[in-house]
């Protein structure tokens, strides 16, 4: 094993003292695989315990951090509240301070006499004399608590925040921090070093904190742009080795099979795609449009055009639910049957997966739809000509690279259901051409959107039950709840059970991300066939769930969602132009939250909503920032850090042109080239 002094940023996290196999597994499940991943796991906040008072220095109504040594602890039951109470006494035995821990019986075993408590709360005077505190936050330790500012890290299952603090502290001390920007660039741009910036951000106090964050955000944006530009330059070095039939011949049989006409926007988008596909240089195009504008149909038309010209096509979706929905749709379309469409997902049984891989490698199977399994090592394609990526913001550059280099410079079509403001697009996606869909195949149907107070929940549930009884279908969406409260799944299950007790005759079911793939697919199919009237779900339905008969949706606590995300969720209903309803149950939160909801009530234009979302979040609100991003930014926010994003874009282009590479940038280039060789491209 390596000693701490010989640690490298690229080392697996288990090389760090204190990380065994079990801890390493817990960290990996949270995306922390290397020492560098650990160091770039930043605190979400800080506790200022720089002036903790002992019981002799406190007075009634004081609010802040205090400390005291445990004298004794006791347990009792409170009949009126129907809950357990653990009471501890700290400080002076002659005039002890009483601490009350409601509904935390487990603490009795931990509060041993002689241990120390650091706790935060408000001091109250007891009716019969003396002082007491109901701690809002507390720490138990064998030694007297240290004063200072302490980082707060996200919870990682069985690992406490203290464990993560200790591991990060060890890594900062033991691991040399390599620079990743070209030599001299930090000095030219007056940016502090990477090492000092990392240490300062984990410390959370001291001069230069703002500059330290800006330095690391610039670095993150710079490497993102550099990789995008490098990928584009490498893919344009080679010409395509395939030819397509005339694109103008594709729409007619496609429309005949659908028994419907394409919109003018859909026709124009396909003409742009067809022109790119006819070019000797590989297509890199983004297809963006509002909810219900028919992006999937345009993508399937492009797939049909490539298939009838002799190429293989891959259609990548971010979730198995969405992949199976696309696959089900393709299976129902007669014109795709000659091309042997197949599904490739992680949940496929081994024999079926092996047979699928053989068919793709031989070229017998021409059209593959699925999830991340499509670009895993060992998956080979004989004549991959077109790669389609749905909801591209959920896939990083490396993942897109892995898939596109499974073929000889295949065409790339990426889609997003979240309209991207023009200013953001020009910087984040400058390497892509763009086609926009504004027109909807089924215009006219209004989604009546209303904010409903929580006090009206019972009335809303009754309305939904009556709607289901008359043949209607809809969704009840529960939000992601903060870690300090009950989990998202618990809230969903409680709501489902409560509704079932009140309305046992309603055909209801749950759909959430922790269900097994086969169960999710079974629920989705039953809902599509109207065997289920009401679906209790989470934001898992935000992307792509297309059930035309669904006509109402209720969203619990809409203030916990971003504006663009709410628009996506609302778009699950009214998909065939009929009158539909969206109820936002709760609608609390601050002024910005209320302004978001006002915008949602005022318009159903996704492009207007995207611009308003950018305006609101540009004023300092980070909610839902990765709705447009790569999902690759650990610290930077493309909206709040707009100036840094533009600056990094310019510097990355200049560095690539001048060949001014750091060791990190050289490794990125080598990895891209090695990846090409590994997947069979000279």
One DSSP character per residue, 329-352 reads HHHT-GGGGGG-EEEE-TTS-HHH
Local confidence band at 622 (pLDDT 50, 70, 90 cut-offs): very low
CA distance 421 to 224: 19
The rounded distance, in Å, linking the Cα atoms of 550 and 472 is 7
Is the pLDDT at 404 greater than 70, yes or no?
no
286-338 pLDDT tens trace = 898 877 788 999 999 999 999 999 999 999 988 888 888 899 999 999 999 99
Q: Is CATH 1.10.10.10 correct for 1-48+152-176? A: no
* Residue 632 confidence class, pLDDT cut points 50, 70, 90: low
* Contact call for residues 559 and 533 (beta carbons, < 8 A): no
- How would CATH label the architecture of 447-603? 3-Layer(aba) Sandwich (3.40)
Q: Give me the residue label for tokens 């910036």.
A: 197
Band (pLDDT 50/70/90 cuts) for residue 675 is: low
Q: Are strands 131-133 and 97-102 parallel, antiparallel or unpaired?
A: parallel
pLDDT class of 144 with cuts at 50, 70, 90: very high
Which tens digits make up the pLDDT trace of 166-177? Answer: 899 999 988 999
Mean of the pLDDT values across residues 188-210?
A: 90
pLDDT band at residue 543, thresholds of 50, 70 and 90?
low
How much is the pLDDT for 312? 95
Answer whether CATH 3.30.1180.20 is correct for domain 247-437. no
Confidence band (pLDDT; 50, 70, 90) for 229? confident
d(CA 527, CA 288): 27
pLDDT, position 682: 30
Which among 671, 653, 668 has a CA at the least distance from the CA of 222? 653
Ordered by start, the domain boundaries in the chain are 1-48+152-176, 51-146, 177-237+644-682, 247-437, 447-603
Pairwise pLDDT comparison (489 vs 673), residue with the higher score: 673
Examine domains 1-48+152-176 and 51-146 and report if their fold is the same: no
Q: Is the pLDDT of residue 620 over 60?
A: no
Average pLDDT over residues 205-221: 90
The predicted pLDDT at position 398 comes to 55
Confidence of residue 641 (pLDDT cuts 50, 70, 90): confident
Per-residue pLDDT tens over the stretch 550-596: 999 999 888 888 787 888 889 888 877 678 999 998 866 667 778 88
Segment 604-613 shows an average pLDDT of: 80
| SS3 label, residue 71 | strand
Give yes or no for a contact between 173 and 202, defined as CB atoms under 8 angstroms apart: no
- Enter the tokens of residue 115: 């241990």
Give residue-wise pLDDT tens across range 485-542. 344 556 788 889 889 999 999 999 998 877 887 888 888 889 989 999 999 998 777 6
Judge whether 298 and 269 are in contact, CB under 8 Å.
yes
pLDDT of 444 over the 90 cut: no
Residue 342 has pLDDT above 90, yes or no: yes
Average pLDDT rounded to a whole number, residues 20-40 = 89
Choice between 44 and 71, residue whose per-residue pLDDT is larger? 71
Among residues of the chain, what percentage have pLDDT more than 70? 87
Q: Spell out the residues 6+ positions from residue 168 whose beta carbon is closer than 8 angstroms to its own.
A: 38, 39, 41, 151, 153, 202
Q: Which CATH architecture has domain 51-146?
A: Beta Barrel (2.40)
């Amino acid at each position: 094993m390596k000693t701490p002094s010989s640690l490298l940023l690229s080392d697996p996290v288990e090389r760090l003292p204190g990380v065994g196999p079990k801890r390493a597994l817990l960290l990996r499940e949270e995306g922390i695989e290397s020492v560098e991943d650990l160091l770039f796991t930043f605190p979400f906040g800080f506790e200022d315990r720089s002036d903790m008072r002992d019981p002799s220095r406190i007075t009634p109504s004081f609010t802040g951090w205090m400390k005291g040594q445990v004298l004794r602890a006791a347990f009792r039951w409170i009949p009126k509240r129907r809950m357990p109470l653990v009471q501890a006494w700290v400080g002076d035995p002659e005039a002890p301070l009483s601490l009350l821990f409601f509904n935390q019986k487990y603490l009795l075993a931990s509060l041993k006499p002689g241990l120390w408590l650091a706790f935060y709360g408000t001091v109250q005077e007891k009716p019969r004399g003396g002082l007491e505190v109901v701690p809002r936050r507390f720490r138990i330790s064998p030694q007297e608590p240290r004063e200072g500012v302490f980082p707060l890290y996200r919870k990682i299952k069985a690992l406490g925040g203290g464990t993560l603090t200790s591991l990060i502290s060890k890594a900062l001390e033991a691991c040399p921090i390599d620079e990743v920007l070209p030599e001299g660039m930090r000095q030219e741009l007056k940016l502090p070093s990477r090492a000092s910036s990392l240490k300062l951000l984990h410390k959370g106090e001291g001069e230069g904190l703002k500059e330290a964050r800006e330095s690391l955000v610039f670095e993150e944006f710079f490497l993102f742009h550099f990789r995008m530009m490098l990928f584009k330059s490498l893919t344009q070095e080679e010409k395509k080795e395939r030819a397509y039939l005339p694109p103008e011949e594709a729409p007619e049989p496609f429309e005949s099979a659908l028994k419907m006409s394409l919109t003018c926007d859909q026709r124009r988008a396909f003409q742009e795609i067809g022109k790119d596909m006819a070019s000797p240089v590989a297509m890199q195009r983004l297809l963006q449009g509002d909810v219900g504008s028919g992006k999937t149909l345009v993508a399937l038309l492009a797939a049909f055009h490539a298939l009838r010209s002799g190429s293989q096509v891959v259609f990548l979706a971010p979730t198995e639910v969405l992949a199976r929905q696309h696959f089900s749709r393709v299976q129902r379309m007669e014109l795709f049957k000659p091309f042997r469409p197949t599904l490739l997902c992680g949940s496929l049984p081994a024999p079926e997966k092996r047979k699928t891989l053989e068919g793709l490698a031989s070229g017998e199977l021409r059209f593959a739809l699925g999830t991340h399994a499509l670009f895993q090592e060992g998956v080979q394609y004989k004549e991959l000509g077109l790669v389609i990526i749905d909801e591209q913001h959920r896939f990083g550059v490396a993942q897109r690279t892995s898939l596109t280099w499974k073929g000889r410079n295949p065409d790339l079509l990426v889609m997003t259901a979240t309209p991207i403001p023009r200013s953001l697009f020009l910087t984040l996606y400058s390497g892509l051409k763009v086609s926009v869909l504004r027109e909807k195949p089924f215009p006219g149907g209004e989604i009546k959107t209303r904010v409903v107070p929580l006090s009206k929940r019972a009335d809303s549930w009754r309305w939904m039950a009556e709607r289901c009884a008359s043949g209607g279908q809809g969704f009840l969406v529960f939000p992601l709840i903060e870690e300090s409260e009950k989990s998202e799944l618990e809230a969903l299950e409680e709501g489902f059970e409560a509704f079932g007790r009140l309305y046992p005759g309603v055909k209801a079911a749950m759909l959430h991300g922790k269900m097994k793939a086969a169960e999710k697919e079974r629920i989705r199919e039953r809902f599509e066939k109207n065997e289920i009237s009401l679906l209790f779900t989470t934001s898992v339905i935000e992307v792509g769930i297309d059930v035309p008969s669904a006509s109402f949706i209720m969203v619990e606590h809409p203030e916990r969602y971003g504006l663009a995300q709410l628009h996506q969720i609302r778009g699950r209903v009214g998909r065939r132009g009929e009158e539909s309803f969206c109820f936002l149950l709760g609608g609390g939160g601050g002024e910005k939250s209320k302004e978001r909801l006002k915008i949602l009530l005022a318009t159903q234009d996704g492009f207007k909503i995207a611009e308003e979302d950018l305006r609101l979040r540009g004023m300092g609100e980070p909610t839902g920032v990765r709705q447009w991003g790569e999902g690759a930014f650990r610290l930077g926010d493309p909206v709040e850090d707009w100036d840094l994003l533009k600056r990094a874009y310019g510097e990355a282009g200049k560095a690539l042109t001048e060949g001014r590479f750091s060791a990190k940038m050289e490794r990125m280039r080598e990895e891209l080239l090695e990846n090409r060789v590994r997947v069979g491209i000279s």
